[in-house]
Homo-oligomer: A and B are copies of this chain.
Amino acid sequence: MKYRLGIDLGGTTAKLAVVTENAKIAKEGLVATSGFPNPAQLATKLAETCKRLVVGKKVAKVGIGVAGDIDSKRGVVRVSPNLGWKNVPLGKLMQQKLKVPVVVENDANAAAWGFYKTQVPSSVKNLIVLTLGTGVGGGIIIDGKLLSGATGSAGEVGHMIIEENGPLCNCGNRGCLETYVGGPHLIKKVKVDLEKGQKSSLQNIAIDEITPRILADAANHGDTYALSIWDEVGHALGMGIGDLIYILNPEMIVFTGGIAQSKDLILKPLQRTLAKRAFKTPIQAVKIKIADNAPHVGVIGASLL
């Protein structure tokens, strides 16, 4: 049996997995990744763990998903703020150590690919995956292929601009989709409102303990203010998704990540916003789903790149 190896390389840990031909995890490992300003050292540590995981197994290919701006054609990490890397030829470094072909992709793209290969019906050939968490990431499948684009930068949907003069984003621009949906942005807004005296059951909770989860609980218990916050999230997502549907006309859009777990609190206002769009054919053709948390989809997706 032939195996593939996937690595989901983040700023604090890397998940590694040996994956079977049927996209099942045969063996997995973890490597702490913080504090490696010298990329070659981290590559050495990753390669050692890889070799340990694959002992006795024939591995045909290694795929790595990395958060950041990735040149997937040349296997280079152009910039990864989380790792503190710039222009690191990660593909080459790992290939020299492992002696098998190594593919490097953006982590959101790898996760989208994992979703496409393992979680959706085979009739779906055009799919958008949006990861709603601290930030908003995306990956796009067109006609059964991962959309990479001219420089491997495609799918940066979290920084579509929803409102030109909207809130300041971490990227430096204003009104990006992420500023309406990303967890820290939500919490910041709620804190400001509560400190201004906003009426809400959330006033009974220590302000620094409020999380998106608590915000969702309050809304599910009927708190009008909390509901209004989720309405705004769903509306902003509906605006962004509406444009994406007009541009790409996919069969399916999947939301994943922590914020997506608020489910109907997001989906209902999103659907209301989408229903206002004039062209019905592409809007009615798309299935919008919230995925259950699938923590392995990134590493499996990387292995299948």
Which residues of A does B touch, CB under 8 Å? 69, 78, 125-126, 140, 142-143, 145, 147-157, 159-161, 163-164, 169, 171-173, 239, 242-244, 246-251, 276-279, 281-282, 285-286
Knowing that A149-B250, A159-B246 touch, tell me 14 more A-B residue pairs with CB under 8 angstroms: A69-B281, A78-B281, A143-B145, A143-B147, A148-B249, A150-B251, A150-B286, A151-B285, A154-B249, A156-B247, A159-B279, A160-B243, A161-B239, A243-B243
A154 contacts B281, C-beta separation under 8 Å: no
A281 contacts B248, C-beta separation under 8 Å: no
B164 contacts A150, C-beta separation under 8 Å: no
CB distance from A68 to the nearest CB of B (A): 11
Number of copies: 2
A164 contacts B126, C-beta separation under 8 Å: no
Tell me which residues across on chain B come within 8 A of A154, comparing CB atoms: 247-249, 282
Residue of B nearest to A244 (CB): B247
Tell me which residues across on chain B come within 8 A of A285, comparing CB atoms: 150-151, 153
CB distance from A224 to the nearest CB of B (A): 23
**25 A-B pairs (CB sep. < 8 Å):** A69-B281, A126-B150, A140-B247, A142-B147, A149-B249, A149-B250, A150-B249, A150-B286, A151-B249, A152-B249, A153-B281, A153-B285, A154-B282, A155-B249, A156-B249, A157-B246, A157-B247, A159-B279, A161-B239, A169-B278, A171-B279, A172-B278, A173-B276, A173-B278, A247-B247
CB distance from A211 to the nearest CB of B (A): 27
Residue of B nearest to A159 (CB): B246
CB distance from A137 to the nearest CB of B (A): 12
Give the contacting residue for A246; candidates B78, B156, B277; CB below 8 A: B156
5 closest residue pairs by CB, A with B: A149-B249, A171-B278, A153-B282, A154-B249, A156-B246
Give the contacting residue for A69; candidates B125, B250, B279; CB below 8 A: B279
Tell me which residues across on chain B come within 8 A of A163, comparing CB atoms: 163-164
A78 to B171 CA separation, bound complex (whole angstroms): 42
Residue of B nearest to A252 (CB): B150
Tell me which residues across on chain B come within 8 A of A152, comparing CB atoms: 249
A149 to B251 CA separation, bound complex (whole angstroms): 8
A171 to B242 CA separation, bound complex (whole angstroms): 14
B250 contacts A153, C-beta separation under 8 Å: no
Tell me which residues across on chain B come within 8 A of A249, comparing CB atoms: 147-156
A147 contacts B248, C-beta separation under 8 Å: yes
Tell me which residues across on chain B come within 8 A of A153, comparing CB atoms: 246, 249, 279, 281-282, 285
B243 contacts A161, C-beta separation under 8 Å: yes
Tell me which residues across on chain B come within 8 A of A244, comparing CB atoms: 247
Residue of B nearest to A251 (CB): B150
B159 contacts A278, C-beta separation under 8 Å: yes
